[in-house]
Amino acid sequence: MSVDQIPNAGLLEYEAVMVGDKPTVTSRTWYHWLLLTAVILFAAVSVGFVGTIFWSSFPTWAHHGFTLLTGKGWVSPDGPFGGLAMITGTLETSLIALVIAVIIGLGTAISIVFFIPRRFRTVVATLVELLAAIPSVVYGLWGLLVIAPWMEVTVNPWLNSWPFAKGIFGSPGQEFGTSLLLASVVLGIMILPTFVAISREVIAVVPQDLMEASLSLGATRWQMIRQVVLPTAKIGLLGATFLALARATGETVAVALVAGSVANAQFHLLYPGTSIAAWIATEFGESQGKEISALMALGVLLMLVNVCLALISRALVNRQRRILAKV
Amino acid sequence: MSDLIELEELPVEAEHSMREEIRRVSERMRGRRVATSRVMVALCGVALVVAAVPLVALLYQLFDKGLSQIDWSFFTHLPETPTIIAPNATGGVSNAIVGTIALTIYASIVAIPVGVLVGVYLAETESKLATSLRVVSQTMAGAPSILMGLFAFSFLVHDLNIGFSSIAGSFALAVLMLPVIIISTEIAVRNVPNSLREAGLALGAKSHKVSLKVVLPSSITGIVTGCILAISRAVGETAPVLLVIGGGFTNSWQPFDPVSAMPLAIFENAKSEYPSQRAQVWGIALVLVIFVFLLSLTARIWASRKQQVRN
């Protein structure tokens, strides 16, 4: 349940109302001041959070301008610093991961809500949420030590036998176990529990009346799902998708482990690559001065993308809630 | 209208054959609908299985490869660096375990009180400040965790020059935990029925007494659940601590010393060239996952206890 659904009690305003229309000094006890101190502390932290990262990235924007967005090469320690490889890497990995997670996740969520016997439903839901709690570094470890060797020996040769393989995946023999494709698959598996957990909740709150009305008109189960449940839950599911996308773009260590950490702007999926967040994690330890500022600038980019996605997702989920309130 | 009359006037045999035709067509349509439905339901089931396979495989391999790595010295010994002469000398990971516990404790000491107080403020007041802070905390809760590391680095390590230390790491983790605690506290406090508040106020209690003695005790389960979830998230995070804790090789509880952490040890040793070190990583990962699962399960049990009390 979200905060916005519960009316505000306004306890700390009662006294002000009782004393007079405007809060008076006498109504402020030590408790109010304690709360205000914590609030100011949090506000300062959040302002500092955005402010310091922007401030530290300033030299890069000032000296190199927007070559960070368009430049191809990343030469440490003095630049030029081009972020195109990280930006394309982030886009490729998170979009492929999103496609994987949404297709599988939607089916899984529907199965959990409608087809699994009631007894097992809570068990499965708990399992999904536990899986969402597994640290991302563990997914990265599994991808690197288990999936990467398997990809290299079994999957890559098979993919290379496809038509147009050279255009999509790159020349055979030049690819590694760690690649953008592996990073996308691991990311997809990682964001799957998050997506399933949210979309399960969205689907589960579709009013029972609507579904029963559909069934009573003779619809089959799938017709009910496709014509009633999915349209009703559409906007909330879109919100879940954006949330999963936000998580995929921000994921750091798993991608740093399995993508191969090579800053090379290209679209061949079996070549190694990197993403914005992963590049920050892999480069930060050995960088100084100008390069740190350039990495901070990448961080600013990541923050802007993430805030946009989070706000869109929030707006969508709120809209879904208003729609359901009307039904 | 005329059609209807014609229909009524049809001979009995024709009417019969027409009904038969309608029945046949609708039967065929129904058959197609049912078949589509079955196929799609089966596809959903397939999706469930496809989703379960990698996750089950991950858990199985984690236990399979991790359990054999864990013995007493795993927890008590410091790590050793394998050499060509002694490629199996990995030692234990006590520094990472001590580091994770120290980081989590320091971060919780700051984040829990501040987070709970801010959550109470957001739940009990209605002002522009509260509304904007609510949006800020919800946005921060989804922010990529590496940004917390960048913040801690540029603020503590670079600007204040305190060096790579566990205090910098726990600062990053505290920033990560704050929004989670704030959001869950706000929900828990708002869920307390208003009649309880009004009863307290009607008895003449001051608003801060009502908040401390009535509202907080009745929302404590929700608050504790949120705090445990925040801790379980902080324990597993690699990215924020990666940039600022320095990866120390000693068991240090000192706030200004460089320390290691379990996720960091996994991240660094997973790419090791020594098979013994790569194998040991599974042990660390298993301990970490068990730790996180225990925390999440505790949180869930707390939450269900709350529901039982309600009912």
Query: How many domains, chain A?
Result: 2
Query: Which pLDDT band holds residue A17 (cuts at 50, 70, 90)?
Result: very low
More confident residue, A207 or A262: A207
Residues A19 and A152 in one domain: no
300-319 in chain A: CB under 8 A from chain B = 302-303, 306-307, 310-311, 314
Query: How many domains, chain B?
Result: 2
The C-alpha atoms of residue B133 and residue B119 are separated, in whole angstroms, by: 10
Residues B294 and B147 in one domain: yes
A10: left (phi over 0), alpha (psi -120 to 50) or beta: left
- Both tokens assigned to B8: 């009524």
Per-residue pLDDT of chain B (311 residues; tens, 9 = 90+): 455 555 556 677 777 888 888 888 888 888 888 898 999 999 999 998 888 888 889 999 999 988 888 888 778 777 777 777 777 777 778 888 888 999 999 999 999 999 999 999 998 887 888 889 998 998 898 889 999 999 999 888 888 888 788 889 999 999 999 999 999 999 989 888 888 888 888 888 888 888 888 888 888 888 998 899 899 989 988 888 888 887 777 777 887 888 888 899 899 888 888 888 888 899 999 999 999 999 888 888 877 776 666 55
State what percent of residues in chain A have pLDDT above 70: 87
B194 part of contact set with chain A, CB < 8 Å: yes
Does A5 reside within a domain? no
CB contact under 8 A, A277 and B144: yes
Does B45 reside within a domain? yes
The C-alpha atoms of residue B175 and residue B141 are separated, in whole angstroms, by: 9
Predicted local confidence at residue A19, as pLDDT: 40
State the ipTM, two decimals.
Answer: 0.85
If one counts every other C-beta atom within 10 angstroms of the C-beta of residue B237, the result is: 27
Residues A232 and A262 in one domain: yes
Residues A251 and A134 in one domain: yes
Which residue, chain included where needed, has tokens 């909740």? A201
Three-state SS string over A120-135 comes to: HHHHHHHHHHHHHCCC
B284, B93 Cβ separation under 8 angstroms:
yes
The C-alpha atoms of residue B140 and residue B180 are separated, in whole angstroms, by: 9
Mutating which of B55, B114, B157, B281 best tests the A interface, going by the most A Cβ atoms within 10 A? B55
Q: Which range marks the domain in which residue B55 is found?
A: 2-68
In chain B, the residue whose alpha carbon lies closest to the alpha carbon of A112 is B48
More confident residue, A285 or B282: B282
What CATH number is associated with residue A242? Answer: 1.10.3720.10
If one counts every other C-beta atom within 10 angstroms of the C-beta of residue B50, the result is: 15
Instruction: Name which of B33, B187, B296 is nearest A130 (Cβ-Cβ).
Output: B296
Mutating which of A116, A129, A141 best tests the B interface, going by the most B Cβ atoms within 10 A? A141
If one counts every other C-beta atom within 10 angstroms of the C-beta of residue A322, the result is: 9
Residues A19 and A155 in one domain: no
Does B242 reside within a domain? yes
Does B75 reside within a domain? no
pLDDT digits (tens, 9 = 90+) for A111-165: 998 888 888 888 888 888 888 889 999 999 999 988 888 888 877 777 777 777 6
The domain boundary residue, chosen from A64, A88, A103: A64
Instruction: Give the distance, in angstroms, between the CA of residue A186 and the centroid of all CA atoms in the same chain.
Output: 13
The C-alpha atoms of residue A17 and residue B286 are separated, in whole angstroms, by: 56
The domain boundary residue, chosen from B68, B103, B124: B68
Does A154 reside within a domain? yes
pLDDT digits (tens, 9 = 90+) for A248-274: 998 888 998 888 877 777 777 777 888
Q: Which residues in chain B have their CB less than 8 angstroms from residue A13's CB?
A: 124-126
Predicted local confidence at residue A196, as pLDDT: 92
pLDDT digits (tens, 9 = 90+) for B147-205: 999 999 988 888 888 878 888 999 999 999 999 999 999 998 988 888 888 888 888 88
**Summary mean pLDDT of chain A:** 83
B187, B122 Cβ separation under 8 angstroms:
no
Predicted local confidence at residue A205, as pLDDT: 86
pLDDT digits (tens, 9 = 90+) for A98-114: 999 999 999 999 999 88
Q: Which residues in chain B have their CB less than 8 angstroms from residue A46's CB?
A: 133, 136-137, 140
Predicted local confidence at residue A21, as pLDDT: 42
Closest listed residue to residue B49, CA positions, set A180, A161, A107: A107
Type of residue numbered B104: T
Residues A211 and A283 in one domain: yes
Q: Which range marks the domain in which residue A169 is found?
A: 68-326
